[in-house]
Structure 1
């Protein structure tokens, strides 16, 4: 092996932990964000870094297919609320959810298990009206947390069958 090849290998060996740490850092930030553990300023800073294309290990993807989800993919697995995935639904800059693809027909069972694990959740206030008025099918449970944060579990059988999402909104949501 040439001296140049050895130097390149040595450099790559030195950089590998930094790259892994950066990826782990994004996944760790996402985990904390999805579990409602960041401040509003930290969420804004993370979103600014995404918008400035400074987060290379988290990017918009098309894994959702025909679903209504806006999915982003993390290079490293993200764990939140007892679930793990590399996919995150970013419905807005202040509401993000871990996206779990499940076999169709098992969405409500999986969603209910997450709701039970989190505890203290209740259905969206207008869920019955949405079902009666629009024929919407699914479940939308929320739990208010300090500092204007809300945990949320959503199963939207009408627009995103085969998916369960769990995460956090920072700020008021219906």
Structure 2
């Protein structure tokens, strides 16, 4: 083996862990974001990185991932774990709300969502959920739990627009 080849192999050996750390870092940031553990400034900095396309291991998944579902899915190169669930897909409903998204067997969405709500504890249905059901015929569940610093845990099962999916994550209010 030549010196150049040996040097190249050594450099690649050093870069591989750095790449893994970068992926773990994004997945770790996403996990903390989804579990409402980031500050407003940290969320704003992360979304600024996404907008600047400075996050290489987290990108828009396209419509292939969600099929007919009304989800804006982004895919992480590394699995993301939040609220006891793991997926590589995150639903970005806005720059201040991100929800881990995962497929379930059709018909099992509400049971899986209820299990997450029970695991988190202290959650309540969205105040206008009954009105949405009565007025618009919406089907599903939208549970929330307020936390400090204008953050809310959210479990959303939208049978009307995203059947076969369960989402859980965090909404951060008034991020500047």
- Report the secondary structure of 2:80's partner residue: strand
Is the aligned partner of 1:46 residue 2:31? Answer: no
The aligned residue for residue 20 of structure 1 is: 20
Equivalence for 1:60: 60
- Structure 1 CA distance for aligned equivalents of residues 97 and 154 of structure 2: 9
Hey, what does 1:7 align to over in structure 2? 7
Aligned position for 2:36 = 36
CA RMSD of aligned residues (A): 0.9
Aligned partner of 1:122 among 121, 124, 147: 124
Q: Aligned residue for 1:110?
A: 112
Looking at structure 2, the residues matched to 110 and 8 of structure 1 have their Cα atoms a distance apart, in angstroms, of: 49
Give CA-to-partner distance per residue, 1:40-98, whole Å, 9 cap, x none: 00000000011111110000012111100000000000000000000000000000000
The two structures have a TM-score, normalised by structure 1, of 0.96
1:135 aligns with 137
CA–CA distance in 1 between the matches of 2:59 and 2:162?
20
Equivalences, count: 172
* TM-score of the two chains, using structure 2 as the length reference: 0.95
